[in-house]
Amino acid sequence: MINYINNDKEFNPIKVGKQGTLFELFVSRIEEAKKKDPNIQVLFDKSIVNLKGNLRQFDVLIKSQINEYEITVAVECKEYTTPVTNQYFRNRIR
């Protein structure tokens, strides 16, 4: 069964079919609720180009700007029995 979720801003349903999608959406909603600056962008299921020029998908991206510096925080939502290593995440952004 496929469920759809309304994103509250405009009716643009999000297809929920793969395992983990609801948790990823939940994390993005928490980050959206926590933000104090309206210029911060919280993006769900977005891709960015990594340092090698490859397109990489991340569950949540948080974008902001501090002075002249653009800041991007990539969030991966995982349900593992052990913590994900730093090397795993480094391989995703390189």
Tell me the C-alpha distance between 64 and 41, whole Å. Answer: 6
Q: Give a three-class secondary structure readout of 26-39.
A: HHHHHHHHHCCCCC
pLDDT of residue 4: 47
Cα separations (Å) of 73 from 22, 57, 59, 81?
A: 20, 13, 11, 24
Tell me the C-alpha distance between 41 and 38, whole Å. Answer: 8
pLDDT of residue 20: 72
pLDDT tens-digit readout, 27-45 = 999 999 999 999 999 999 9
Q: pTM for the full model?
A: 0.70
What mean pLDDT value characterizes the chain?
81
Residues paired with residue 70 on neighbouring β-strands, in sequence order: 65
pLDDT of residue 16: 56
What average pLDDT does the segment 12-34 reach?
78
pLDDT of residue 67: 92
Phi/psi at 80 (nearest 5 deg)? -115, 160
pLDDT of residue 15: 56
pLDDT of residue 43: 96
pLDDT of residue 94: 74
